[in-house]
Amino acid sequence: MNNRSKLNPGYFTVRQLFELEACTRCGECIAWCPTYAERNAEEITPLSKIHTYKAFLKGEYGGFLARLFGFHPPTPQEIQEFGRGTFQCTLCGRCHVVCPINIRTRDLWIAMRQQLIEWREYPPFFDQLREAVTDKHNISAEDNRGRFIWAENLDNKPAAFPEKTRAEAVYFIGCVSSFYPTVFGIPQAFVNILNHAGVDFTAMGGEEWCCGYPLIIAGMGDQIKETVRHNVETVRQTGASKLITTCPSCYHTWRHEYPEVMGEPLGFEIVHAVELLDELIRDGHITLHRYPNAVTYHDPCDLGRNSGIYDAPRRIIRAIPEIQFSEMKDHREYSLCCGGGGDAEMADAELTAAVAHRRLEQAQETGAKILVSACQQCKRTLAGQARKEKMRLKTLDIVELVWEAMQE
Amino acid sequence: MERLQIFWIIHLTMLTLFGLEMILVMSIWLRGRVPGLPLTASPWLKLWAGLKYLFRLIFSRRLWRMIVALINDGLIHRKIRRVSRYRWLAHITVFGSFVLLGLLSTVTGVAVEIFPNLLPADHILNTNVISVTLRNVDHPVIAFVNDFFGLVILFGMALIIYRRYFLKDAQLRTIPADGVIIALLTGIVLTGFVLEILRLLAHQPFEPTAAWGFIGYPLALLVRPLNLNWELWYNAAFWVHFVIPNMLLFYAPFSRFAHVIMSPVIVTLNSLEEMPA
């Protein structure tokens, strides 16, 4: 680390560097940080990350005046500590919501991660992740042709690439749903709903490449250009007018990152499953039957805080006859993260479990028997932890809930 | 050399240093990238892009929304009010009163130092009621406003000190630099009151309206029997009261106090972009 490259402010926009300076050190972010609540390590706090990086900048580029005020270039030990704190973050974005200055913290953390990647100060597993996504095109490093394995046992196996290459919509399934059996139920339920509602869709099968989100949030966003081009071109060839996804992270990436990487509009609409389901229910394409169960809803960070979708999932749940819906203590903008975001699990699996435990406790406090979410990663994390703790709490994705409610 | 000349020499030097420090900090920001410009773009090009963005914002239909965002989030701080009335009260009393007193000082400076030197004595800018009022520090309004808002600041500072050093709120991270800022801010107000007391004592007999300075006046009456060389003490207090804000000015760009300048800008821009269309 002694031979480290100089700090590169080019990972930040001018405005972001200005934002670092605008932080008032009020500490509101500390009170709301889900990972700091579990670890109590100072370097995790948003406040610490901002002020450490700011001090690095002044120490490196501030010259004599900065020295006069006590700033110095970062030492290897400081960089190591800073790296630990930066990667023990789920990128949930709650710090942005509570910040009195509205600092866009999540973008800052990603820029800091880019710097740490350059300094090679990151969790060792990230190298495998990079290889898996860029070479195998999925996060599991499995054969990408196996992306449709979840559909094997379906009565009506949906038509997909290479058999069906033209459709009105493309269902982008996402790596977690494709390769983790615990959440196979999500794409299974969703294709059943689509078929039932008469939506003309196809899926990309082995031609679906990981959207690149795990690399973007790891600070390796420069590696995804080829992936983005491949995915966009493949969808364009189908002639589809919309791309639907059940994964909020894929949704966020497609909607916000892809047009930027492509440098042009994609030419088709990006829709999350909850938006489509909301529309299908409203237009009467789906009939929901009585479902007398107590449920609560967990807002996925990438769907809620990072994409602004809060109402559609709630409208869907409330449309189900006889369902008893109650909110958790932290909900909507203030929702607590499941712990599974931001690649934090790869940096510290115990930390993820601790955050998930706290969220499950909040769900139990409502008296709900079913915890509903709209994200396969949230479901995987929360269901895994609930199982580990033998909690009497069922976890369902919202598409599974809707499919269950569609059964007479 | 006259006191006022020394005042301006030191003050302008400190302002220049402040400006240089701000330029240094800005030069660090300008190492960042600007969307739409190549990474290798010069700092001047980036600065120009930033100014263009601001001008486009100011001269657009979004101006009104920007003003609303500035008032709500940059000045009234509604987000702080939502999470804690205590914190909001502490912040708004200190911030709001300093802004008001700062504006009053600036306008007074123009009316007392600039207009009389540049314009004929019978010019409207010198003879209007506002200029005349501002020139008289013992005018009831001026005396009352200065004391009242000074007191409000002290109240706010007491709340801040209590929360940070006695209540020790878990989300606060207190570093020595916080103590420096708190001491400087409190020092400005306390020395302001001392200066007022000594000014009254140095310029006896008291003006009948001086009693509107409801803190300085009674305290001046209280210490008058000491019968010291008030002119000398007044002079000393003047320089102490002058030096503290200049120290703050010098320290600001490299301290948390920088947020006073940066935060309203960032919160206005970010809130504006998050407003529903």
Model confidence pLDDT, tens digit, residues B132-166: 888 888 889 999 999 999 999 999 999 999 999 99
pLDDT given for residue B217 in this prediction = 94
pLDDT given for residue A1 in this prediction = 46
Q: Which residues of B touch A305 (CB under 8 A)?
A: none
Q: In chain B, whose CA is at the least distance from the CA of A57?
A: B28
Q: In this structure, are residues B90 and B159 in contact, taking their beta carbons and an 8 Å threshold?
A: yes
Å between A16 CA and nearest CA of chain B: 8
* Distant-in-sequence, close-in-space partners of A207: CB < 8 Å, separation ≥ 6: A161, A162, A230, A234
Å between A132 CA and nearest CA of chain B: 29
Contact map slice: B 66-95 vs A, CB within 8 A: 73, 77, 79-80, 83, 87
Residue for token pair 């038509």: A159
Q: In chain B, whose CA is at the least distance from the CA of A59?
A: B28
For testing contact with chain A, the best of B87, B88, B263, B275 (most A CBs within 10 A): B263
Q: Which residues of B touch A99 (CB under 8 A)?
A: 79
Q: In this structure, are residues A322 and A290 in contact, taking their beta carbons and an 8 Å threshold?
A: yes
pLDDT given for residue B230 in this prediction = 94
Residue pairs spanning A and B at CB distance below 8 A: 116
* Among B34, B173, B269, beta carbon nearest to A14: B34
User: Would you state the structure tokens that stand for residue A190, as one six-digit string?
Assistant: 């969703």
* Among B39, B80, B262, beta carbon nearest to A100: B80
- Answer whether B53 touches A (CB < 8 Å): no
- A150: which DSSP letter? G
Q: In this structure, are residues A368 and A398 in contact, taking their beta carbons and an 8 Å threshold?
A: no
User: Would you state the structure tokens that stand for residue B148, as one six-digit string?
Assistant: 């009242």
Q: Could you tell me which residues of chain A have a Cβ less than 8 Å from any Cβ in chain B?
A: 9-10, 12-19, 21-28, 30-31, 42, 45, 47-48, 57-58, 61-63, 65-66, 69, 71, 98-104
Distance between the two ends of chain A, CA-based, in angstroms?
63
ipTM for the whole complex: 0.86
Q: Which residues of B touch A63 (CB under 8 A)?
A: 24
pLDDT given for residue A89 in this prediction = 93
Q: Distance (Å, rounded) from C-alpha B206 to C-alpha B215?
A: 14
pLDDT given for residue A345 in this prediction = 83
Q: A373 has which bridge partners?
A: A397
Q: In chain B, whose CA is at the least distance from the CA of A104?
A: B270
Residues of chain B with pLDDT under 50: none
Q: In chain B, whose CA is at the least distance from the CA of A55?
A: B254
pLDDT given for residue A334 in this prediction = 96
pLDDT given for residue B277 in this prediction = 60
Q: Which residues of A touch B173 (CB under 8 A)?
A: 25, 27, 30, 42, 45, 47-48
Which domains, ranges and CATH numbers included, belong to chain A? 9-118 (1.10.1060.10), 144-278 (3.40.50), 280-406 (3.40.50.1860)
Å between A59 CA and nearest CA of chain B: 11
Nearest to A283 by CA among A307, A243, A319, A311: A319
Q: In this structure, are residues A244 and A203 in contact, taking their beta carbons and an 8 Å threshold?
A: no
B262/A102 Cβ within 8 A: no
Å between A212 CA and nearest CA of chain B: 21
Q: Distance (Å, rounded) from C-alpha A8 to C-alpha A298?
A: 38
User: Would you state the structure tokens that stand for residue A98, as one six-digit string?
Assistant: 């509570």
Kindly report the pTM of this predicted structure: 0.91
Q: Distance (Å, rounded) from C-alpha A346 to C-alpha A353?
A: 12
- A366: which DSSP letter? T
A69/B173 Cβ within 8 A: no
Q: Which residues of A touch B45 (CB under 8 A)?
A: none
Is omega for the bond preceding B245 within 30 degrees of 0, making it cis?
A: no
Residues of chain A with pLDDT under 50: 1
